[in-house]
Amino acid sequence: MHEHKRILVTGGLGFLGSFLCESLLADGHEVICVDSFQTGSRENVAHLRDHPSFEIMRHDVTVPLHVEADEIFNLACPASPIHYQVDPVKTVKTSVMGAINLLDLARRTKSKIFQASTSEVYGDPKVHPQPEGYWGHVNPNGPRSCYDEGKRCAETLFFDYHRQYGVNIRIARIFNTYGPRMHPNDGRVVSNFIVQALTGKPITIYGDGTQTRSFCYVTDLIRGFRALMDAPDGIELPVNLGNPGEFTMLELATLVIELTGSRSRVVHLPLPKDDPTQRKPDITRATETLGWKPEIPLFEGLQRTIAHFDQLLSRTQKRAVP
C-alpha cells in the first residue's frame, strides 16, 4: 500500500506525462498537472478527466508558481526536434528557467523533485554504450543545442540546488521512448514510420539509415520513473533509463513494414545536422540500484503502438487499406 501524496507533474499533458499521471492516480495519489499546452493536449488525459484526484493547471514553467506538493516531476519541455526547434530560445528558457522555478518551489516546500533529463546530454557520443559517467560530445551552438544544452544546464542547476540548499533531487536520463499517444506529426522516427506505413506513403529514412537508436516502450520507462522517485535517499545520480536493444533506422523500417503489412517503399532523405550516429544506454546503475530493467521488446511495443495509430487513422479515415 502506497502512502497518499500530492504530486505535481509538469508537462503532464504530453506523451510521457499523461502515462505518468495515470500511473500515479492508479496508486491513489493526488495529481496536479501543470502544462502550457505547447505540445500537450487534454486529449492525452481525456480518460482521467473525471478522476476526483486529478487537476489540470494551465501554466508556463518559465513563470514562478506557488503550489503545495510532496513531490514534483518536471517533464515540461518539447521533446521532438521539430517541436523544440520552432522557438529555440523558448526551449532554453523552458529547461533553464523552468528548472530554477521548480527547484525554488521544491526548496520552499521541502518537496522531492525529479528531472526528465535526456540521452541528448551525451550528444553524438564517442563512448558506446553510454554510461552516466560519460560527459558527452555536444555541439554548444548547433540546431539541437537549445535542447541538449538546456537539459545539461538543468542538470547543473539540480546538482547545485542539492549541494547548496540540500534539495532532494532525482535525475533520469531518458533514451528514445515510444508508444501510444506519441504525436502523429512530431517528426519522431517511430511515429513517422508507423504513420507512413499505415497510410501507404514512402518510409523516409534520413541518411543511409545506419545510425542507431535504442527504443524503450513507454510503460517500462514510467516504471523506471516511479522506482527512481521512490528509491531511498542517497542514490547515485543521474540514472540512465532506456532499453539497451540497439537498432539501425533501416532495421526499424523493415520491422515496421513487416508488422503493418505495408506496401510502402523506403526513400532516403538528407540527414539532419548534428544527428547522433549511435545511441545505446548502459543501464547497469538502474538495474543495480533500482532493480529496474525494461521488459517489452521492440516488436511487441511496436505492435501496441501500431494498433493505437491504426485506430487514430481509421477515425480520421487516413488509413490506407492494403
Q: CA quadruple 316, 319, 320, 322: dihedral positive or negative?
A: negative
Q: Taking CB under 6 A as the criterion, which residues in 67-96 touch ligand NAD?
A: 75-79, 83, 94
Question: Reduced to 3 DSSP states, what percent helix, strand and coil does the chain have, rounded to the nearest 5?
Answer: 40, 20, 40
Q: If DSSP codes are grouped into helix, strand and coil, which group holds residue 167? A: coil
Q: What whole-number distance in Å separates Cα of residue 140 and Cα of residue 150?
A: 10
**Residue 89 beta carbon to ligand NAD: minimum distance, rounded to whole angstroms:** 12
Interaction of residue 17 with ligand NAD, rule CB under 6 A: yes
- What x-and-dash track marks residues 245-274 binding ligand NAD by CB under 6 A? ------------------------------
Residue 205: contacted member of ligand UDP, ligand NAD, none (CB under 5 to 8 Å, by partner type): ligand UDP
Size of the site for ligand NAD (CB under 6 A): 29
Which contacts qualify for 195-198: CB closer than 8 Å, 24 or more apart?
A: 195/309, 195/313, 196/264, 197/256, 197/257, 197/260, 197/262, 197/264, 197/306, 198/260, 198/262, 198/306, 198/309, 198/310, 198/313, 198/318, 198/319, 198/320
Q: Taking CB under 6 A as the criterion, which residues in 85-124 touch ligand UDP?
A: none
**Residue 122 beta carbon to ligand NAD: minimum distance, rounded to whole angstroms:** 11
Q: Taking CB under 6 A as the criterion, which residues in 213-252 touch ligand UDP?
A: 213, 249
Q: Are 114 and 158 in contact (CB under 8 A)?
A: no
Q: Taking CB under 6 A as the criterion, which residues in 264-293 touch ligand UDP?
A: 271-272, 275
**Residue 250 beta carbon to ligand UDP: minimum distance, rounded to whole angstroms:** 9
Which candidate in 84, 122, 147, 178 is catalytic? 147
Which residue number, 139 or 204, has a Cβ lying nearer to ligand UDP?
204
* Residue positions annotated with a catalytic role: 147
